[in-house]
Amino acid sequence: MADHIISLQGVTKEFDTKGGKVVALHDINLDIKRGDSYGIIGLSGAGKSTLVRTINLLEQPTEGKVLFDGKALTGLASKDLNLQRRKISMIFQQFNLLMQRDAIGNICFPLEIAGVPKAEAEAKAEELLKVVDLEDRAHSYPSQLSGGQKQRVAIARALASDPEVILCDEATSALDPKTTRSILALLKKINEERGITLVVITHEMEVIKQLCNKVAVIEGGEIVERGSVQEIFANPKTKAARRLFFPDGQNKEKQITKTSTKRRVRLAYDEKTAHEPIIANMIMELGAPVNFLYANLDVLGGEQIGQMVICLADDKETAEKQKEYLANAGVKFTEIPEDYDFSEEHGEEAGE
Amino acid sequence: METGALIKLLSEGTVQTLIMTLVGTLVSYIIGLPVGVSLITTSPNGIRPMPLYNKVMGFIVNVIRSMPFLILMIAFMPYIRKIIGTGIGTAATTAALILAAWPFVARMVEQSLLEVDPGVIEAAQAMGASNMQIIRKVLLLEARPSLLNGAAVATITILGYSAMAGTLGGGGLGDIAIRFGHYRFQPDVMWITIIVLVILVQIMQEIGVRLAARLDNRIN
């Protein structure tokens, strides 16, 4: 068993269009560990859909290799590729269910393709309907199901072939917020209880926050930043990441920080520090005030993560003491230069 | 003409028309359905792009479709006569019908299959379905209602062709309408054959629409 269930090595994808060659992906290197829930986030047109389609070779990379469980998928004959594809399921934004088959029929479909006897396939499909909480809709057709129910059928269908990986291509982008949460919870459960690796393509930070432990930020066909979700959320290094992680936070920050520009620091605190009144303690202990400009608290994979922008004390000495205090308290912070332009971070809104 | 003879003439003509239409449609589908499927699968966005085949087959289909049926029948009759031994009657007409109708059927099938959501095909590919499985289990099944509606249209078109063939001694109701209604100035025979044709078309259309609706699981 290879350590990495999926490895992309130097994957480049070019499309020939009327206007010439378009590079959709440029030299992508990506390793995904077994059991990870790996998010790939980017704006529309960043190349994330193309990227996920190279994993199961729905898109053939122009250059580079795709490894699944240590074995190259690129270069396989279509028959062998089809066998490997049964271990990599996929769910879609538009669900892509067969409209002429009922829920059970849809779930049986991958088993039928694999040549599983009908009775056996149906028994398994019934079982999976329970997993996705739809046992009462076994004989409903997709046209009779809501969006959330359709995605549940699609998830059951994805589970039918006992896959090692499920690729989720904007799986919740067509759903309302409440349904999105329930679908994400279901996917998380599948990831945790069955140990199925998830690759989650999305343009929404909420999806990453609720579902993923790792994340890669993709922009202009390249991965610009990657790491654990906590790490990147607490300390996003690239503009692309900041733009995606705080689409409206950044906007507010921009407004709020217009007035004071001196000695600004951006704080990030985690589960431990989020529970403690660190700033209040600091003010009391050092006897110097700070000015709050912006604050935000989020829950990431069950952990609280906070973001805050404050102005430190006016005189340099006290400000240094305050920084020291924060560092000792285990709060990560970065200083924001006086001429820092927040508006640069805030690009167009993420969305389709 | 006495009523008994007229009824006998008309019922024979109806049976001949039905045989020509149904056999013609059936064989046209045996040829046209795989060709229609192949036009979809070999197209640039298809599951197995084959540009040369796609262009050539598309061209053949277009050439035959651009010939009016009567012209095509007259042009090919010498060859049909050589092959099946006769240039008149139901057998020769059926052969001409098939020749003219299979490209029409192929395009009808192609149109129906175009309606299948590409996302569903992609999903099947992601599951590891072979191209043959995609054709059989996704394309043809998902397009079933549209294919059935198309079949009704194709059958009615072929019925129309068969009636036209009557002007060339093709047998069936068209033949009766021409020989008795037109050449012998019997407008009553003419109108009766027209009424029979209208009834046949209504029945075929109704069967097609009902079957398509009944076998469509998108609405119920």
Residue-wise pLDDT tens digits, A10-42: 999 999 888 888 899 999 999 999 999 999 999
Structure pTM? 0.83
Section A227-239 average pLDDT: 85
Do both A220 and A114 map to the same domain? Answer: yes
Q: Which residues contact A140 (CB under 8 A, 6 or more apart)?
A: A102, A103, A149
**What chain A residue is nearest to B128 in terms of C-alpha separation?**
A82
CB distance B176 to B112 below 8 Å: no
Do both A321 and A224 map to the same domain? Answer: no
Do both A223 and A271 map to the same domain? Answer: no
pLDDT for A129 beyond 70: yes
Q: Lowest-confidence range among A29-38, A84-93, A100-109, A262-271?
A: A262-271
Q: Which residues of B touch A (CB under 8 A)?
A: 117, 119-120, 122-130, 133, 137-138, 141-142, 144, 216-220
Distances in whole angstroms, Cα of residue B201 to Cα of each of A171, B127, B205, B214: 47, 43, 6, 20
**pLDDT value at residue A351:** 37
Residue B138 Cα, gap to closest chain A Cα (Å): 7
pLDDT for A2 beyond 50: yes
Q: Does A350 fall in a domain?
A: no
Do both A259 and A205 map to the same domain? Answer: no
- Note down the domain range covering A82: 4-236
pLDDT for B140 beyond 80: yes
Question: Count of H helices and E strands in chain B?
Answer: 10, 0
Residue B213 Cα, gap to closest chain A Cα (Å): 12
Tell if the CB–CB gap between B127 and A92 is shorter than 8 Å. Answer: no
Q: Residue A142 carries which DSSP code?
A: G
Alpha-helical segments (H) within chain A? 48-55, 78-85, 103-113, 118-131, 147-160, 177-194, 205-211, 229-234, 239-245, 249-256, 271-275, 278-286, 316-328, 342-345
Domain final residue, candidates A236, A268, A291: A236
How far is Cα A127 from Cα A268, in angstroms, rounded to an integer?
Answer: 44
Residue for token digits 């990030």?
A268
Do both A135 and A229 map to the same domain? Answer: yes
Section A127-136 average pLDDT: 95
Residue A342, helix vs strand vs coil: helix
Tell if the CB–CB gap between B141 and A98 is shorter than 8 Å. Answer: yes
Do both A182 and A289 map to the same domain? Answer: no
Residue A93 Cα, gap to closest chain B Cα (Å): 10
Q: What is the ipTM of this complex?
A: 0.87
Set of chain B residues whose Cβ sits within 8 Å of the Cβ of A60: none
Do both A262 and A332 map to the same domain? Answer: yes
Q: Does A351 fall in a domain?
A: no
Q: Does A194 fall in a domain?
A: yes
Do both A160 and A255 map to the same domain? Answer: no
Q: Does A352 fall in a domain?
A: no
CATH code (residue A254) = 3.30.70.260
Domain final residue, candidates A236, A259, A274: A236
Set of chain A residues whose Cβ sits within 8 Å of the Cβ of B120: 96-99
**pLDDT value at residue A36:** 95
Q: Which domains does chain B have, with CATH numbers?
A: 3-214 (1.10.3720.10)
Do both A256 and A222 map to the same domain? Answer: no
Q: Does A173 fall in a domain?
A: yes
CB distance A125 to A107 below 8 Å: yes
Write the residue in A79, A92, A144 that is nearest to B119 by C-beta. A92
DSSP characters for B112-153? Answer: HHHTS-HHHHHHHHHTT--HHHIIIIIIHHHTHHHHHHHHHH
Element (H, E) at B165: helix B144-165
pLDDT in tens, B200-210: 999 999 999 99
The mean pLDDT value of chain A amounts to 87
Q: Does A241 fall in a domain?
A: no
How far is Cα A62 from Cα B188, in angstroms, rounded to an integer?
Answer: 72
